[in-house]
Amino acid sequence: MKKAFVFFWLIFLFSGIGYLFWYNDIIYQLPTPVPKDYKSVETGSLIVNKALNNNHSKPIFLHFFNPECPCSRFNMKHFKSLVKEYGDLINFKVVVLSPKSFTSEDIQNKFDLQIPILFDNTLASACGVYSTPQAVLLDQTQHLYYRGNYNTTRYCTDEKTSFAKIALSGLLKKQTNLVFSEAALKSYGCTLPDCKQ
């Protein structure tokens, strides 16, 4: 009787864990609802914001990030790999969007980042961002080159859909005719500012 109880308890436990993984996987594959007051920002738009403080020597990559967002945390390893690969050619900046209070040092230490951390919420609306994580790539004159997802997979492991990396490569090669699928341009992740799915 004891063995049967333990057996059924283990089945129940593993079924519950399996259900949670399945449910979370489904949730992360659903697009983020578009806010009612959302104003789209078209590719090619000039992004003016004093927080950028750009000297126009390099393009700018803005990583819109919420430390409380699971999607943002899943994405961090991939983002750091982009910084490592393109950091000499692109000005990378993290834009923290969270109702909680953080300092630059909190973010840099927790995620081992040695790049500027910005806390300007107006950058999100200026770039048309309403969820995290999102990538925004501005050319040297601060015109919007790309705004969208990093990848179709949660941990950014699919090279064929490594949209942010494709955008970085395209900008550096001066490609003006890059076309991205709906999966690249539709927002997935946590809504702003309170990290709800």
Condensed to tens digits (0 to 9), the pLDDT of residues 149-194 reads: 988 776 667 778 899 999 999 999 999 888 888 888 888 888 876 6
Kindly indicate whether the domain formed by 60-191 is annotated with CATH number 3.40.50.300.
Answer: no
Give the model confidence (pLDDT) of 55-67 as tens digits: 778 999 999 999 9
Delimit the domains of the chain by residue range. 60-191
What's residue 183's pLDDT? Answer: 83
Give the model confidence (pLDDT) of 83-105 as tens digits: 999 999 999 999 999 888 899 99
Give the model confidence (pLDDT) of 26-46 as tens digits: 555 667 888 888 888 999 999
Q: Of 14-18, 45-49, 173-177, where does mean pLDDT reach its minimum?
A: 14-18
What's residue 18's pLDDT? Answer: 60
Residue 164 to residue 166: CA distance in whole angstroms = 5
In sequence order, the β-bridge partners of residue 93 are 62
| CA 25 to chain CA centroid, nearest Å | 17
What's residue 118's pLDDT? Answer: 95
Judge whether residue 25 has pLDDT over 60: no
146 vs 194 pLDDT, higher one: 146
